[in-house]
Structure 1
Amino acid sequence: MNTSTTPRGVRNNNPGNIDRTDVVWQGEDRSAAALAQERRFCVFTTPEAGFRALARTLLTYQRKHGLRTVKEIINRWAPPVENNTAAYVHRVADEVGVGGTEIISLTRPVTLFRLVRAIARRENGRLFWSDAVIESGVNEALK
């Protein structure tokens, strides 16, 4: 794969393009090489670890912040100052199979899986991972 044209989320095993913070994720690479490779975003050792972090973040949005719809979740995930959030919400809601303002439960594995997969597709331009890889990360997040 040509790294110059490979999306950042694929290169970093970070399908959601999660920003690096003081919190070190399970499976996150904080080596000097990883920090040199990427200044802003997390770098994960495997795509499964990246999907786990994405799913855990979304679960936190629902459990801690009370975000219950795709629209609420995406407005926090991809704020309008950086994204065309309305288009993002529409595309993700369609892929999840719900309306943008319909209440969803991310404790339902199928719903969380669909949301994670839709976000990864949107963040990276297309889907680069098998459903098995995504499901593995989602299942780890639900433990």
Structure 2
Amino acid sequence: MPRGIGNNNPGNIRHGDQWQGLCSRQTDQSFCQFIAPEYGIRAMIKILRNYVKLYDDRTIRQFISRWAPPSENDTESYITYVSRSVGIDSCAVIDVNDQRVMTVLVKAMIQMENGQQPYSPETFERAFELL
């Protein structure tokens, strides 16, 4: 099982913030562990929305360049994959308040991060309800 899926953290979010839904005991030294995948997905959405507020990032290219920097990732391949999966040009503005668009974006990121996207539509619905 991929680490992100096992940690209920499909975005592979590193420790640093006190996220809602964190497990009381964190046994992964690098990545957060959540009590359920909805909380990990919720954290992904919150981070992407914060990229808009804090950095004025609004495109897939900007989001992924910050999420998966070239110092740690093949950022260009990540951008290309997500852009194609979402069906939106990497430089097009994304509405982070559009649940449909954000679900497709986050699903593509989960696939890229873990090599699979095992979550049902209901899991994403519950994640949005937690916002």
TM-score of Structure 1 vs Structure 2, range by shorter chain: over 0.9
State the aligned residue count.
Answer: 131
Is 2:124 the partner of 1:134? yes
Larger Cα-atom Rg: 1
Could you tell me how far 1:64 is from its partner in structure 2?
Answer: 2.0
Match of 2:55 among 57, 62, 65: 65
Kept in 2: contact 1:109–1:139 (CA 8 A): no
Report deviation, 1:126.
1.1
Match of 1:55 in 2: 45
Relative to the length of structure 2, the TM-score reads 0.94
How does 1:65-84 map onto structure 2 within 5 Å?
65-84=55-74
- CA distance in 1: counterparts of 2:106 and 2:130, whole angstroms: 13
Give 3-state SS (helix, strand or coil) of 1:75's partner: helix
Distance of 2:105 and 2:130 partners within structure 1: 15
| Structure 1 residue 130, shift from structure 2 partner | 1.2
- Name the structure 1 match of 2:2: 7
Q: In the alignment, which residue of structure 2 is the partner of 1:17?
A: 12
Aligned partners of 1:113 and 1:138 also within 8 Å? no
Provide the residue aligned with 1:28 in structure 2. 22
Give the TM-score taking structure 1 as reference length. Answer: 0.87
Unaligned 5+ segments in structure 2 are: none
Gaps of 5+ in 1: 1-5
